[in-house]
Structure formats: structure tokens, C-alpha cells
Amino acid sequence: LHVCSLTTGEQLAAFCPKDIANVRDLKNLLHQRLGLLRFRQRLVQGSTILDDDDELTLVGSSTVHLLISGFIEASREDICNF
């Protein structure tokens, strides 16, 4: 299973599909490999955005694309007003 950047097409990681039961497993592996928190990862297979509980449908040497969501740190004022 190849994981490529959605924006650049660069391969970011490769994994043995037998080690991955669902999207959450893949996101956890990507967190370990790339240091990206799971909630910032959006995985796309074909034209489908994958949910954490989705099973991966893998055919041959499948490719999944990764989109990294932006992260904006909250100020103390934002936290107090929340």
C-alpha cells in the first residue's frame, strides 16, 4: 500500500496491506512514521474520502492519497471565550 501526498503526488510511506485492517490503523501507522496526528489526516482513495472506520479496499499495489489538514493554535483569549 502506497501513501502519496494529494497535493504533490510524492510517495510519503509504504506499508504491507496485511498489517492494516481499516483506515484508523493506517492513520496510526502514518502518525508513527510521519508524526502527523490522526485528526489532521484526510485519506482519499480514488474519489472517496475515507472515514476512520472504513475498511481499505486494496487491489494489487494500491495507492491512498493523504491530505494534511491545517492546524491553528488557539490563543488564551480564544480558550477563555469558548
5-61 pLDDT tens trace:
999 999 999 998 887 889 999 999 999 999 999 999 999 998 889 999 998 877 655
Which helix (H) or strand (E) segment is 45 a member of?
strand 41-45
- In this predicted structure, the answer to whether residue 82 has a pLDDT above a threshold of 90 is no
State how far the Cα of 38 lies from the Cα of 79, in Å rounded to an integer.
Answer: 22
What is the rounded radius of gyration, in angstroms, for the C-alpha atoms of the chain? 15
Cβ atoms of 54 and 22 closer than 8 Å: yes
